[in-house]
């Protein structure tokens, strides 16, 4: 009986912890900025300019590539790029 009770309490605690983590994690919301590629611009530099301090530049590059249907990192001067910029969400 004690083992059953212990297993039940442990399960309830773990379940509650996972529920809290799921509910408290907010989805990322992105605002779209349009930029023009200039001479010397690279996808890495653009992503670095638009990434937040806690973001991995590689993830920002992937978002830019996905948003603009890019399969590589080649850019053309004058090309317009849509940059998905993570928006800070204030939870109440």
- Provide, rounded to the nearest whole percent, the portion of the chain with pLDDT above 70: 66
Architecture of domain 27-87 in this structure: Roll (3.10)
Residues with Cβ within 8 Å of residue 67, at least 6 apart in sequence: 32, 81, 82, 83, 84
Q: What are the residue boundaries of the structural domains of the chain, listed by start?
A: 27-87
Q: Angle of helix 43-50 relative to helix 57-67, nearest 10 degrees?
A: 110
Nearest-CA neighbor of 26 among 85, 89, 77, 68? 89
The mean pLDDT of 5-28, rounded to a whole number, is 58
Helix (H) or strand (E) holding 31: strand 29-36
End-to-end CA, the chain: 42
Predicted TM-score of the model (pTM): 0.66
Identify the weakest region by mean pLDDT among 11-15, 45-49, 67-71, 77-81.
11-15
């Amino acid at each position: 009986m004690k083992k059953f009770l212990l297993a039940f309490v442990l399960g309830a605690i773990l379940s509650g912890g996972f529920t809290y983590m799921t509910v408290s994690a907010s989805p990322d919301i992105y605002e779209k900025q349009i930029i023009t590629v200039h001479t010397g611009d690279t996808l890495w530099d653009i992503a670095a300019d638009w990434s937040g301090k806690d973001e991995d530049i590689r993830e920002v590059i992937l978002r830019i590539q996905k948003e603009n249907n890019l399969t590589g990192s080649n850019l053309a001067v004058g090309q317009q790029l849509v940059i998905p910029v993570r928006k800070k969400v204030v939870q109440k």
